[in-house]
Structure 1
């Protein structure tokens, strides 16, 4: 196998070094978008209080953020196919930076719809990054270790999600000094997001400049065919059953994970659970996302010897059990059971993603677009759970993500097997 870089054929030895450098560069990218995505879990209770929103209204934060995946993913797949993975990353970083900058006027004007618009633009850039970076990682190495490789990079994505709640709790939830209920308090609450998102915009623009300058391997569709060992015969990516079922898996996984993260702060604030203040509960989010980080590092090693489907099914059923405990009990046991779901989440996204892309060959970038469109589950499932929380109770509403994990167990056992329809 050889890959053409600037009209030169790279030797296997040099190729390996290029892959290592490329993966190192991509790893930091995974970290920053995990960090940004997880800040939504701090924004939801924050904006809920600022604008006095119901659970359903507050869930529009995730609806707009993850709704961008559905709208942008398919065009993003076509754009990445045209520009290449590296240029797609540069464009994605630039768009995400613009979204961060829009938080400043949204906070200044104290307009909830403008906050939602800023989140949509930010998520559009993140979507483009997902479409470009995930298949890039799967292509940079042997096909049989693709799940392990993507799990390792996703571990750093999870590291970003673990750090973000601490950052958000300190600079957003803990930045208000005025007395609660006063007009000055509301102004400070709204404006507390300005500095954090300006900092993020600066980091994203710096990264865009770095990725524009880096000389990374040009992994095109033909190269992906050679790496995976497959050549696609079908004109439609949707003719692959395991991809379609995998897209449903991504939908319910992201929906379940985001729903839990979105309502954890409120859940821990319930008197019958822990009665924690928002600022303190926000810090506990790090255990949820930190569990995913630890699990991904472990999974990256373990999955070199354990079948990806079996590992996926095992983690999914553990999640179902933990959520049942959180629904049926109170106090610290319920709180820690729900936080522990983060550990089970660890290998799910990269495993479903790599299993669903298996055998697509030159349709890989299109398949990646379909899978990233399915991330819209993060927009819809939290809204549905919010409706159940408003109508019944917040604690019982966690049956919604529990059903999501039941499907993931099915996909790990049966649904991921490669078949054309």
Structure 2
């Protein structure tokens, strides 16, 4: 997934940019950071159904993969800022890359022992690492060139991130999913030895992709170490906790945080159960479902990001958000009550209409905040924890209804209703209530 938060104010000496080509290679490296964390996030849609099978998990247990990643964001949001402030952006990025690489390498012992808790620890460590990367990448991309091109560079980074939505599921379907899935009755009829071989084989298939991801993180860390990047100075003071609480007096910000919480939850719900939904509701096999996650959902998500950005030039952002969130809600209903291929196409089309939600909610939430813009941005980033909460709720509902995946999609449907309310009423800026002390 891509996060465009309000970056810290940065000051860079003018003489650092006398040669426009000087920072071409460093910018390419920064852009690759967007791709790396996009790969991690968008492999989760493959990893969840796969580890559910390999580790014999319930639906709720399988969503702990999302919990591990997105709860890391919540816990590391403030520490990441402190790390970057004390160590500097370049050293902070290198530390984040190494941390994420270590987490990815932990997939090897986790797969060898088929220990789900170790998988979760690995994902949590990866999540902590990429939180640092995401916190640093936006300001770095902003300063690697002239000031006028900052917005273009950030959009390029987001586009590179969007490519991972398409590529990651295809890689996961090719190298992780086996296409072999035995029913509970078939597993019960297996001998203990045959069952162990089957489960160990399934578990082992995750090692190769995550070894490559780990090597990618560490290789980029080495490149960052040797390439010159501009010194980025952060002059911001650290906000006090009371200032974060005070910011909620802006009603439109409060609703934006709630809407962002719901949006991230909805997106993660849709992708986390896409493969199993395509199998059970769409009637396709496991590998085909994995490919559809990339070729239908991923392609439409990427297309929506470009087309949606173009439409914002002609349609007010809150109105476009209303149109897209209503369409996403209708498609969710179609997925819940439909059958066959219509279910798969409905899930895929949701990717198109969800594509502009995060940045649009973000921008509407930060409107007219003035000096509290950075605090508002931090709160909107922390709302990403919705990706840890809603999928678990969805998993519990599916388990309660005897593995009925379609019933579970009522959770993202409710999330879309929250976004619809925000786009119609919640986004409106109101003067915050001023508390007057009476003598």
CA spacing shift, 1:366–1:197, aligned 2, 3 Å: farther
Structure 1, unaligned stretches of length 5 or more?
A: 226-231
The answer to whether the aligner puts 1:239 opposite 2:269 as a matched pair is: no
Cα displacement (A) at 1:235: 7.6
The change in CA–CA distance for 1:402 and 1:331 in structure 2 (over 3 A counts) is same
**What is the match of residue 303 of structure 1?**
312
1:50–1:76 distance in 2 versus 1, CA, 3 Å:
same
Corresponding position of 2:266: 256
Alignment of 1:5-154 (within 5 A): 5=12, 8-10=13-15, 14=18, 24-134=28-138, 136=140, 150-154=154-158
| Residues 184-229 of structure 1: per-residue CA shift (max 9 Å, x gap) | 221111111112111111100111222334444555556x99xxxx
* Residues 409/106 of structure 1: CA separation in 2 closer, same or farther (3 Å cut): same
Deviations 1:250-274 (A, max 9, x none): 211111001011111111111xx32
- Distance in structure 2 (CA, Å) of the matches to 1:239 and 1:258: 30
Correspondence for 1:348: 357
Query: Aligned in 2, Cα 1:366/1:98: closer, same or farther, shift over 3 Å?
Result: farther
RMSD between aligned residues:
3.5
In the alignment, the residues of structure 2 paired with residue 204 and residue 296 of structure 1 have an alpha-carbon distance, to the nearest angstrom, of 26
Q: 1:82 to 1:238 in 2, by over 3 A?
A: farther
Distance in 2, matches of 1:215 and 1:260, equals 41
With over 3 angstroms needed to count, the CA separation of the structure-2 counterparts of 1:347 and 1:111, relative to structure 1, is: same
Asked whether the equivalents of residues 135 and 364 of structure 1 are also in contact (C-alpha less than 8 Å), the reply is no
1:327-346 superposed matches below 5 A: 327-346=336-355
Q: Please, which moves more after superposition, 366-375 or 60-69?
A: 366-375
Shift of 1:166: 1.0
Q: Give the whole-Å Cα distance in 1 for the aligned partners of 2:418 and 2:156.
A: 24
Equivalent residue number for residue 279 of structure 2: 269
Whether contact under 8 Å (1:94, 1:125) holds in the other structure is yes
How far did residue 45 of structure 1 move?
Answer: 0.9
Runs of 5+ in structure 2 lacking a partner? Answer: 1-8, 433-439
Structure 1 counterpart of 2:217, from 192, 201, 204: 204
Report the CA distance between 1:177 and its aligned residue. Answer: 12
1:399 Cα offset (Å): 1.3
Q: TM-score, normalised by structure 2?
A: 0.81
Answer whether contact 1:18 1:216 (CA < 8 A) is retained.
no
Q: Which residue of 1 is the match for residue 414 of structure 2?
A: 403
Distance between the aligned counterparts of 2:27 and 2:314, measured in 1? Answer: 21
Which of 185-194 and 136-145 deviates more? 136-145
Q: What is the distance in 2 between the residues matched to 1:355 and 1:217? A: 31
Partner Cα separation in structure 2 for residue 144 and residue 303 of structure 1: 19
Q: Distance in 1 between matches of 2:330 and 2:127?
A: 32
C-alpha separation in 2, matches of 1:149 and 1:139:
9
1:219-230 → structure 2 map (5 Å cutoff): 220-221=233-234
- Following superposition, the deviation at residue 49 of structure 1 comes to 0.8
Residues 3 and 219 in structure 1, CA contact (< 8 A), matched pair in contact too: yes
Distance 1:17 1:415 in 2: 44
Which secondary structure state, in structure 1, belongs to the residue aligned with residue 405 of structure 2? coil
Q: Cα distance 1:138–1:160, how it changes in 2: closer, same or farther (>3 A)? A: same
Q: 1:25 to 1:167 in 2, by over 3 A?
A: same
Counterparts of 2:347 and 2:375, CA distance in 1: 35
Deviation at 1:389, TM superposition (A): 1.2
Structure 1 length-normalised TM: 0.84
Partner of 1:280: 288
Displacement of 1:310 in angstroms is 2.8
Distance 1:353 1:129, change over 3 A: farther
